Structure 1
Amino acid sequence: MSRPFRSVLYIPASKERALEKARELAADAIIFDLEDAVAPDEKVAARATLSRFLAEVDYGPRLRIVRINGFDTEWGRGDALHFGALAGVDAILVPKVDGPADLDAVAALTGKPLWAMLETAKGMLNAGAIAGHGRLEGMVMGTNDLAKELGSRFRADRMPLQPALGLCLLAAKAEGRVIVDGVYNAFKDEAGLRAECEQGRDMGFDGKTLVHPLQLPVANEIFAPSPDEVTLARRQIAAYAEARAAGQGVAVLDGKIVENLHVAGAEAVLAKAEAIAALAE
């Protein structure tokens, strides 16, 4: 992963004020949403509004992802053709991906990198094949739609969704894809958001999708290496290098074994910290 994806903020493509404000927000990536966030009678106008902003507004280092409407709607193909050819778009996010064929249909209309929304039961069962698609760059958990389809109830520990989250994580990691966690709906509940971000981070997600700018500071904090983690990573690398120089295969640091796999993890921590620092420059 060459860039951080701690915070991936949804912005409605029909809201000019939100589109304007987004260029000042500390989001690592923006999903410009033409699908769920836009009412049917606003779809066509939203396409024109978003096109204008992407052409005129500098969103800086933030990755610009456009979530198009599904191909089962009257707007999906037009969205893919239009934004798939627009210079200001970094990637196309395909909603409700059930399998690789859904990505194939969009890939035939654009050369842009593709992202997939994983939010259906079929998508969960086909996560490995979806992650292995040659044009796929990232995966986004659509936990709201998934919970609705499963008929599962909300729990703070998200136990009902754990099998699906785990399947998608395995698929993404096996193929080296970015994967970001689903949204936390109660945007004023900082404690709840923090707990869910910590859970997602500990599971292995690269970041979290967000529904409101108020959620950005928590996601950016939780999905970034802490100062203590950076310090430990440097100490692990140094200890292992010293052990190797002495002809040893492993090192001991703070009473714990440090092997080459720990060094690889430490190097990943430092690379992420450096990538985050570069965004702030």
Structure 2
Amino acid sequence: MDRTDLRNCRSLLFLPASNPRAIEKARDLPADLIVLDLEDAVREEEKGEARRLAVEATNGGFDGRPVAIRVNRAGSRHFGEDVTAVRHATIDYLVLAKAETGKDAHDASWLVAKPVLAMIETPRAVIDANVIAPSSAGLIAGVNDLTAALGLPEQKDREGLIFALQRIVLAARAADIPAFDGVYNRLESDAGLEAECRQGRAWGFDGKSVIHPSQIETANRLFGPTEEELEAARRLVAAATGGAERHDGKMIEAMHVEQAHRLIARARR
């Protein structure tokens, strides 16, 4: 994946920074972005050691793939120590947990001198996502915290999150940055994960957060273009001659040709 184009990122693998074994295994996994987590995945008593391990792990690289570290939210008692440690890490992005304002994202980026992926995890963040997005390199939906904050019961179809997730995508598109769907909580790759990936892509997300190696292939496959989509795109590009015209029983114009070119380019990358 091109490090400069996050929209090529189909899978974001979140790993506890306190787990050296999982980190070593991740060096050979096909996730498009590795995220070493200092927040929810790490026990309070392990925070200090997790910082040290995260910085150390980034020095070894991940087979040329981009890597990020997720820090605790701005204003938390761990945030200062997190960003101080992360300054010494070899990372491409900083993931900011529970970003709520544009200032949160801007300040975190300035402190670490890295672009920020802001996690939208609270009602306030959803409402102000359009303000957070311009200070961010991408938005990540924090579905678990959002579900809890909204008081939603467990849902298979995520019906209660539709408005929030669409608002995240809209804010990202308005700022011309990518948006990533939240995690699927079951650890294995199953029909539920497939359904969420198809749903997330249909809603406009560029990729999905994953929490287990078995989920990577599904996210990569379903957030990447299919052979049928690629063939249709190639036919459309070949047939287009400019202006509005009929193709394959539909009316196409320059916008559709541009979409087809983007799909083909994404598959190449």
Structure 1 position 110, deviation (Å):
2.0
Alpha-carbon separation, structure 2, partners of 1:62 and 1:40: 29
Alpha-carbon separation, structure 2, partners of 1:218 and 1:7: 9
The corresponding residue for 2:56 is 52
Structure 2 residue matching 1:132: 3-state secondary structure: helix
For residues 7-28 of structure 1, the C-alpha deviation after alignment (integer angstroms, 9 at most, x for no partner) is 1010110001001001100100
Confirm or deny that 1:261 pairs with 2:255: yes
**Retained in 1: the 8 A contact 2:94–2:114?**
yes
The corresponding residue for 2:173 is 173
Please, what TM-score do these two structures have when normalized by structure 2?
0.95
Alpha-carbon separation, structure 1, partners of 2:40 and 2:168: 22
Confirm or deny that 1:98 pairs with 2:100: yes
**Retained in 1: the 8 A contact 2:137–2:178?**
yes
In the alignment, which of 72, 76, 79 is matched to residue 76 of structure 1? 79
For residues 44-85 of structure 1, the C-alpha deviation after alignment (integer angstroms, 9 at most, x for no partner) is 011111111111x23023221110122333321121122134
Alpha-carbon separation, structure 1, partners of 2:210 and 2:56: 24
Structure 1 position 2, deviation (Å):
2.5
Q: Cα 1:89–1:189, aligned 2, differ >3 Å: closer, same or farther?
A: closer
Q: Cα 1:274–1:65, aligned 2, differ >3 Å: closer, same or farther?
A: same
Aligned residues: 265
What is the Cα-based RMSD across aligned positions, in Å? 1.3
For 1:169, give the aligned amino acid.
V
For 2:41, give the aligned amino acid.
A
Alignment of 1:9-24 (within 5 A): 9-24=13-28
Structure 1 position 156, deviation (Å):
1.7
Structure 1 residue matching 2:234: 3-state secondary structure: helix
For 1:148, give the aligned amino acid.
A
Structure 1 position 30, deviation (Å):
1.0
Structure 2, unaligned runs of 5 or more: none
Overall identity of the aligned pairs, in %: 38
Alpha-carbon separation, structure 2, partners of 1:110 and 1:14: 21
For 2:247, give the aligned amino acid.
L
For residues 76-117 of structure 1, the C-alpha deviation after alignment (integer angstroms, 9 at most, x for no partner) is 11211221343x111111111111121233234121111101
The corresponding residue for 2:225 is 225
Alpha-carbon separation, structure 2, partners of 1:15 and 1:189: 22
Greater displacement, 69-78 / 18-27: 69-78
Structure 1 residue matching 2:117: 3-state secondary structure: strand
Look at both structures and tell me which one has the larger radius of gyration over its CA atoms: 1
The corresponding residue for 1:278 is none
**Retained in 1: the 8 A contact 2:233–2:263?**
yes
**Retained in 2: the 8 A contact 1:10–1:211?**
yes
Greater displacement, 230-239 / 108-117: 108-117
For 1:71, give the aligned amino acid.
A
Alpha-carbon separation, structure 2, partners of 1:85 and 1:118: 26
Q: Cα 1:51–1:189, aligned 2, differ >3 Å: closer, same or farther?
A: closer
Structure 1, unaligned runs of 5 or more: 276-281
Alpha-carbon separation, structure 2, partners of 1:9 and 1:208: 9
Q: Cα 1:2–1:107, aligned 2, differ >3 Å: closer, same or farther?
A: closer
